[in-house]
A and B are shown apart, each in its own frame.
Chain A
Amino acid sequence: MGRFLKGLALVVIVICCLLPFWWLFVVSLRHRVDIFAGPAAWPTNPTTENYQALFGQYHMGSFLINSLVVVSVSVIISLLIGTPAAYALARFDLPGRLGSVGLMSALFVRMVPAILLVVPFYIALGRFGLLNNRLGLIIIYTGINTSFVIWMMQSFLAEIPKEIEEAALVDGDSRWSAMWRIILPLAGPGLAATAIFAVIATYNDFLIALTMTSTPKSQTVPVGISTLIGKIQVEWGPMAAAGVIGAVPIIIFATIVQRHFVRGMTMGAVK
């Protein structure tokens, strides 16, 4: 293929990937009257009125706070309980294929589409009075994130040579202190990447939050965005602004963990 054709193809590809994002951004900056006057590729006469409406009458502030609380608490807990389990699975020979069973069930939880679990989650949370409650969401997300943390961290920890730990054990360290003193610092970058992936997946979740919550008291950002789409009327401007707010943090995080994306999406199978 000629250099020119290849260059042309690359330009078209980048435009296909990025133009939809630009479109979202442009609509979010346009006045209501301008939106109805017809489409535009450039924000002529830009305004922040959509963003103001979003944080005023459309509760975006509470959606963001709910997302922040639910995402951070569930990711922190799942790192705290998932990383030790990943270490055990990567380093110890658990009897009776317990290790394989553990990894398999973790994989199952991660891979099964959410639609297959939301009805029973709904029934279960209803039983404990945790519907429309951030705690209910935190419990579910913690479980799902734990499965992801186990797989990712297991894959990162398996890359740390065992000899390093063995040396520490020979030097008289206990396994516990070797884990904290030697392994955890070495696994730091992997831990950070895992945390960011868990944040992305949790912040982006829609179906579970949609089912378990019903008011701005506990609805998260994606659910909040969907409330702007009425059956008859769509609030284009605020909806686009909400889309921008939903996308920007994730684009930043994704850029940071770009290098690890394949591993994150295939749970360590492909690097």
Chain B
Amino acid sequence: MTTELASTPAPDMSASPPRRPWDFDRLLPYLLVIPAALALALVSIYPIYEAIKASFTKYLYGRPVGSAGFSNYIDVAHDPVFWQSMGTTVEFVLLAVTAETVLGLALALLVINEFKGVKFVRLSILLPMTIAPVVVGVIWRLIYSSETGFVDPLFVALGLGAPRVLSHETSAFVGLVVVDIWEWTPLLFLIALAGLQSIPQEPLEAAAVDGAGPVRIFFQHTLPLLIPILAVGVILRLIDAIGTFDQIYVLTRGGPGTATQLISIYAYNTAFNFTDYGHGTAMLIALLVFVSLLILVAVALMRRAAARTS
């Protein structure tokens, strides 16, 4: 079955008995769509309107005190902390998503064939991404802590010094990337697994008969077929990773210093701790434009993948 993604609307099948021009069946599609459309507008069009308005307003201690023109946007462009946070975000996202893609694919290849206990292994791999990111943060706070965790004792047992992961800039950043990898490799794993399962086996078997080794079969036959589907996972993960907030809020709040201050943490602090909604929303609108472009790419990729995994 093919999913009817946005490109191909289903054919009209209302060619049934004779009817009046405005009968109930004719109006039905609109009646069905309107409540949902209103709910969606309430959480998309309306907040974006509010955000644009706020980004052109001057705020003082959380109160609007007049029009700001473009000054909020100009301030953002000249804000070194904004650019620093963007840089940290890009670094974080690229490191984490690359590792998750490679690991997810490797795991999928490992459990693609049925064996005793395969269901348990697949469920175990799935679990980290199901629980709340806040709980993920709590778990790793316990693990990294020198009081309750096993990371410091492990390093000491190996004859190395206790790293106190969250207390140093570099290790805190790496520590957060590790948390993200633990939490989100499962998503790439699941998508890679679904992709592998949808690949027809005959061409692979034919290649094997022709004497191709498993490595060559993988790179020449499997991977090209897998990429369109894997791409969906990568782009979804990219978009989501840009907004990473909960785990960092629980683990470091952006510290030590600004080592783990992703753009989400900086925007949140600007808006709610410094109550400068103008500066905060200008920042978020700029980011929204960027993320919207990524979403457009995502939609194109998803449309293509939907046609393949049917």
B-contacting residues of A (Cβ < 8 Å)?
6, 9-10, 13-14, 16-18, 20-21, 23-24, 27, 35-36, 38-39, 41, 78, 81-82, 84-85, 87-94, 97-100, 102-109, 111-124, 139-140, 142-144, 146-147, 150, 154-155, 158-159, 162, 165-166, 169-170, 174-176, 200, 203-207, 210-211, 221-222, 225-226, 229, 234, 236, 239-240, 242-243, 246-247, 250-251, 253-255, 258, 261-262, 265-271
Bound Cα distance from A62 to B291, whole angstroms: 36
Contact A90 B302 (CB under 8 A): no
Q: How far is the CB of A208 from chain B (nearest CB, A)?
A: 10
Interface size on B, residues (CB 8 A): 111
Contact B139 A21 (CB under 8 A): yes
Contact A112 B291 (CB under 8 A): yes
Which of A18, A200, A269 contacts B305, CB < 8 Å?
Answer: A269
Q: Given the known inter-chain contacts A143-B39, A222-B132, please indicate yes or no for A207 contacting B246, CB distance below 8 A.
A: yes
Q: How far is the CB of A203 from chain B (nearest CB, A)?
A: 7
Residue of A nearest to B151 (CB): A39
B107 within 8 A of A: yes
Contact A115 B40 (CB under 8 A): no
Which of A16, A119, A270 contacts B194, CB < 8 Å?
Answer: A270
Q: Which of A41, A170, A234 has the most CB of B within 10 A?
A: A234
B240 within 8 A of A: yes
A-B contact pairs, 14 of them (CB 8 A): A10-B111, A13-B110, A21-B139, A82-B36, A88-B29, A111-B295, A113-B242, A113-B245, A120-B47, A175-B25, A176-B25, A243-B139, A265-B190, A271-B310
B280 within 8 A of A: yes
Stretch at the interface among B69-77, B203-211, B266-274: B266-274
Contact A23 B143 (CB under 8 A): yes
Q: How far is the CB of A219 from chain B (nearest CB, A)?
A: 12
- Chain B residues with Cβ under 8 A from A38's Cβ? 153
Contact B302 A269 (CB under 8 A): yes
Bound Cα distance from A258 to B121, whole angstroms: 12
Known: A124-B50, A207-B245. 7 other contacts (CB 8 A): A85-B35, A93-B10, A116-B291, A158-B3, A162-B10, A176-B28, A236-B145
Contact A266 B233 (CB under 8 A): yes
Which of A14, A108, A146, A246 contacts B131, CB < 8 Å?
Answer: A246
Bound Cα distance from A109 to B44, whole angstroms: 6
Bound Cα distance from A30 to B42, whole angstroms: 46
Which of A13, A81, A200, A234 contacts B124, CB < 8 Å?
Answer: A13
Bound Cα distance from A91 to B17, whole angstroms: 18
- Chain A residues with Cβ under 8 A from B120's Cβ? 14
Bound Cα distance from A234 to B251, whole angstroms: 11
B65 within 8 A of A: no
B105 within 8 A of A: no
* Bitwise interface map of B from 6 to 49 toward A, beta carbon under 8 Å scored 1, else 0: 11011111101000000011001111110111011011101111
Q: Given the known inter-chain contacts A23-B142, A108-B292, A206-B134, please indicate yes or no for A92 contacting B29, CB distance below 8 A.
A: yes
Contact A115 B284 (CB under 8 A): yes
Q: Which of B2, B142, B249, B303 has the most CB of A within 10 A?
A: B142
Contact B132 A204 (CB under 8 A): yes
B102 within 8 A of A: no
Bound Cα distance from A180 to B212, whole angstroms: 54
Contact A243 B190 (CB under 8 A): no
5 nearest A-B residue pairs (beta carbon) = A113-B243, A143-B43, A85-B36, A120-B47, A269-B302
B133 within 8 A of A: yes
Which of B46, B138, B145 contacts A243, CB < 8 Å?
Answer: B138
Which of B7, B142, B193, B288 contacts A27, CB < 8 Å?
Answer: B142
A-contacting residues of B (Cβ < 8 Å)?
1-7, 9-14, 16, 24-25, 28-33, 35-37, 39-40, 42-44, 46-51, 54, 107, 110-111, 117, 120-135, 138-143, 145, 147-150, 153, 182, 187, 190-191, 193-195, 229, 232-233, 236, 239-240, 242-243, 245-246, 249-250, 264, 267-268, 271-272, 277, 280-281, 284, 287-288, 291-292, 295, 298-299, 301-303, 305-306, 309-310
Contact A105 B40 (CB under 8 A): yes
Q: Given the known inter-chain contacts A169-B16, A242-B138, please indicate yes or no for A100 contacting B9, CB distance below 8 A.
A: yes
Q: Which of A116, A204, A236, A243 has the most CB of B within 10 A?
A: A116
Contact B51 A114 (CB under 8 A): no
Contact B245 A158 (CB under 8 A): no
Which of B25, B133, B147 contacts A236, CB < 8 Å?
Answer: B147
Contact B24 A222 (CB under 8 A): no
Bound Cα distance from A266 to B4, whole angstroms: 14
- Chain A residues with Cβ under 8 A from B1's Cβ? 158-159
Contact A10 B130 (CB under 8 A): no
Q: How far is the CB of B187 from chain A (nearest CB, A)?
A: 6
Q: How far is the CB of B177 from chain A (nearest CB, A)?
A: 15
Q: Given the known inter-chain contacts A246-B131, A270-B194, A270-B229, please indicate yes or no for A24 contacting B142, CB distance below 8 A.
A: yes
Bound Cα distance from A206 to B123, whole angstroms: 24
Contact A222 B110 (CB under 8 A): no
